[in-house]
């Protein structure tokens, strides 16, 4: 299964040019496809173009000029652009983290919109980048599975049911009380043959910006 390209990842790629070439097995999330159309990005998988938007009139002239300027960019300008992107990626998710108490009765798990059709996957963040640099929340799987690419680190604690994780050819079957760690850059499949509820913790807190 290929790598999932989120809108946040695509937006960073677009900072270096509007013509983007992805690996053959890459998969764009729905929000990434919408962003490509919105920004006039042309995406190709090798030689196969999968998304293209014609830019005409003044916008077309601006794009041509932009590409011309990019071609003529000096090493110093390129270095500055790379440093700016790295600064945005490395900056803390939360500028002012604070102690926070979330009461259990206020937590409502919602259907996860990025789940494949027909898959009953629920998710909710209870701690996010508004209060901390780590995020945490709950997710549920009801006889369902979710293919996912993690552009962040994650720890999962199984509260109830059987939680199955497939990663890099390995299959972990976790029971209540078990803890699973998943490193950044992992292509996984979350699932449960019955029903399970899992508490997760991710770093950075703004994980959704990388996997929309």
Query: Distance between alpha carbon 131 and the CA centroid of its chain, in Å?
Result: 20
In DSSP terms, 199 is beta-bridged to 138, 157
Q: Which residues does 76 contact at the CB level (< 8 Å), separation at least 6? A: none
| pLDDT tens across the length of the chain (212 residues) | 456 777 778 888 888 888 888 877 777 777 778 888 888 888 887 644 444 444 444 444 455 455 555 666 666 677 676 666 655 555 566 667 788 899 999 999 999 998 999 999 999 999 887 877 888 999 999 999 999 999 899 999 999 999 999 998 999 999 999 999 999 999 999 999 999 999 999 998 876 665 55
Q: Tell me: the pLDDT tens digits for 166-192?
A: 998 999 999 999 999 999 999 999 999
H or E element that contains 148: strand 145-150
Residue with tokens 């945005």: 88
Report in angstroms the alpha-carbon separations of 200 from 76, 101, 102, 139, 167: 42, 16, 15, 7, 17
Q: Which residues does 177 contact at the CB level (< 8 Å), separation at least 6? A: 157, 158
φ, ψ dihedrals at 108, nearest 5°: -125, 115
Q: What is the biggest distance separating any 2 CA atoms in the chain, rounded to whole angstroms?
A: 61
φ, ψ dihedrals at 141, nearest 5°: -135, 120
**pLDDT recorded at residue 28:** 78
Q: Which domains does the chain have, with CATH numbers?
A: 4-90 (no CATH), 104-209 (2.60.120.10)
């Amino acid at each position: 299964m290929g790598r999932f390209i989120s809108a946040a990842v695509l937006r960073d790629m677009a900072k270096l040019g509007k013509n983007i070439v992805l690996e053959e097995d890459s998969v764009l999330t729905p929000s990434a496809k919408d962003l490509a159309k919105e920004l006039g990005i042309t995406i190709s998988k090798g030689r196969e173009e999968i998304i293209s938007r014609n830019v005409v009139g003044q916008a077309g002239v601006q794009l041509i000029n932009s590409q011309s300027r990019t071609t003529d960019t000096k090493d110093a300008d390129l270095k500055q652009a790379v440093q700016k992107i790295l600064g945005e990626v490395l900056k803390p998710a939360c500028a002012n983290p604070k102690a926070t108490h979330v009461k259990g009765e206020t937590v409502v798990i919602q259907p996860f919109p990025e789940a494949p059709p027909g898959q009953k996957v629920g998710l909710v963040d209870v701690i996010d980048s508004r209060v901390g640099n780590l995020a945490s929340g709950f997710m549920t799987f009801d006889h369902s599975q979710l293919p996912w690419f993690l552009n962040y680190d994650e720890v999962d604690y199984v509260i109830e049911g059987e939680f199955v994780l497939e990663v890099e050819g390995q299959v972990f079957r976790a029971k209540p009380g078990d803890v699973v760690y998943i490193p950044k850059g992992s292509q996984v499949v979350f699932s449960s043959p019955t029903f399970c509820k899992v508490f997760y913790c991710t770093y950075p807190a703004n994980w959704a910006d990388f996997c929309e």
